[in-house]
């Protein structure tokens, strides 16, 4: 998940990793000739996993976001401290969590997402106290969630809008079980909401819902999982600050929630409390969501983006807001 400032173009703090001041309105190569197998973005910073599992981060170093033992911004990738090898990453606004191949969870950065109540932060990865056997991880703004090998979800951190899913609005520095007994295979978090998929492709969401990002036909926040309306089944999900998108088994993109900058891709700017089709003529293999924009890769490996473009995040060579998908430049 990524979150972005509510107004103005995103500030350049080195989050492109190109070693030079930004922005870049089209794709540019990250410095260092690195090769990565997975990549996530947080609050003006980026982290990635090399094929071997070593983690690298760059951009905004405040509150230990980069996990390299320092708080300075870095315009090129720096290795995360500790020498651990990971096979999953998730970034929130100012913290990142990662899972080792053994299912142990480590987090770095700031706030309650690290299991403390004092607003502390860590510049190096810290092990989650009860961390064995996790298979998925997601991170929001001040909270995180994990899935066990039985598909059960647990969360910790901020909970004022029910984002921990345990039926309360009380924050917790330790893991609490998400209500409902759902067995989930995927998990994504936005600023203050989380959605997961069952083995059958049913989507369930909980947490903040003022923009309809839970997709349950309402704008009421939910402290326990509710099913996404519409009877759709999904193979994957993506969550932005206050919108959510999913891909069906046929590659159709559907989105719901906030749409002020066109991040739902349906040609308008009105929020939707139900899933609406994005680019109905296109079929996608993968999808990701930023603070207020969305990108997806089609079956020909062409990248399409839509939504907020004030910082050039759509990669089409302009700063123009796009209400429907547009191809990233250079393809």
Q: Given this model, what pLDDT does residue 119 score?
A: 62
What pLDDT score does 117 carry? Answer: 54
**Cβ(229)–Cβ(276) under 8 Å?**
no
Spatial distance between the Cα atoms of 93 and 83, rounded to a whole number of angstroms: 24
* DSSP labels, 11-55: P-SSTT-SSS----SS--PPTT----SEEEE-SSEEEEE-TTS-E
Indicate the pTM of the whole model: 0.93
Instruction: Note the pLDDT of residue 20.
Output: 79
What does the pLDDT read at residue 3? 43
- Write the DSSP assignment of 85-140 as a string of letters: -EEEEEE-SSEEEEEETT--EEEEEESGGGS-SS--EEEEEEE-SS-TTEEEEEE-
**Which stretches in the chain have pLDDT values below 50?**
1-9
Over residues 270-309, the pLDDT tens digits come to: 999 999 999 899 999 999 999 999 999 999 999 999 999 9
The pairing of beta strand 172-177 with beta strand 153-157 = antiparallel
pLDDT at 198: 98
């Amino acid at each position: 998940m990524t979150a972005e400032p509510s107004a103005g173009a995103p500030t350049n703090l080195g989050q492109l990793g190109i070693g030079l001041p930004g922005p870049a309105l089209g794709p540019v190569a990250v410095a260092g000739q690195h090769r990565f197998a997975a990549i996530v973005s947080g609050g003006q910073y980026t982290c990635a996993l090399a094929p071997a599992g070593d983690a690298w981060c760059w951009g905004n170093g405040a509150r230990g976001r980069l996990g390299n033992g320092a708080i300075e911004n870095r315009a090129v990738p720096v290795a995360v401290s500790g020498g651990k090898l990971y096979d999953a990453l998730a970034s929130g606004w100012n913290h990142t969590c990662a899972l080792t191949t053994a299912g142990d969870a480590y987090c770095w950065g700031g706030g309650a997402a690290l299991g403390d109540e004092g607003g502390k932060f860590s510049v190096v990865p810290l092990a989650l106290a009860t961390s064995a056997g996790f298979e998925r991880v997601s991170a929001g703004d001040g909270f995180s969630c994990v899935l066990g090998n039985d598909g059960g979800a647990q969360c910790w951190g901020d909970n004022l809008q029910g984002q921990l899913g345990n039926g309360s609005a009380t924050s917790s520095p330790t893991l609490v079980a998400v209500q409902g007994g759902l067995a989930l295979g995927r998990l994504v978090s936005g600023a203050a909401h989380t959605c997961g998929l069952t083995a059958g492709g049913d989507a369930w969401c909980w947490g903040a819902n003022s923009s309809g990002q839970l997709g349950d036909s309402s704008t009421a926040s939910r402290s326990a999982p509710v099913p996404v309306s519409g009877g759709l089944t999904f193979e994957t999900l993506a969550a932005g600050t206050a919108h959510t998108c999913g891909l069906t088994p046929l590659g159709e993109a559907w989105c719901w929630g906030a749409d002020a900058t066109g991040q739902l891709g349906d040609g308008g700017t009105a929020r939707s409390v139900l899933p609406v089709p994005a680019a109905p003529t296109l079929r996608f293999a993968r999808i990701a969501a930023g603070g207020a924009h969305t990108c997806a890769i089609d079956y020909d490996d062409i990248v399409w983006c839509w939504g907020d473009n004030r910082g050039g995040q759509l990669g089409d060579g302009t700063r123009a807001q796009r209400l429907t998908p547009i191809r990233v430049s250079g393809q």
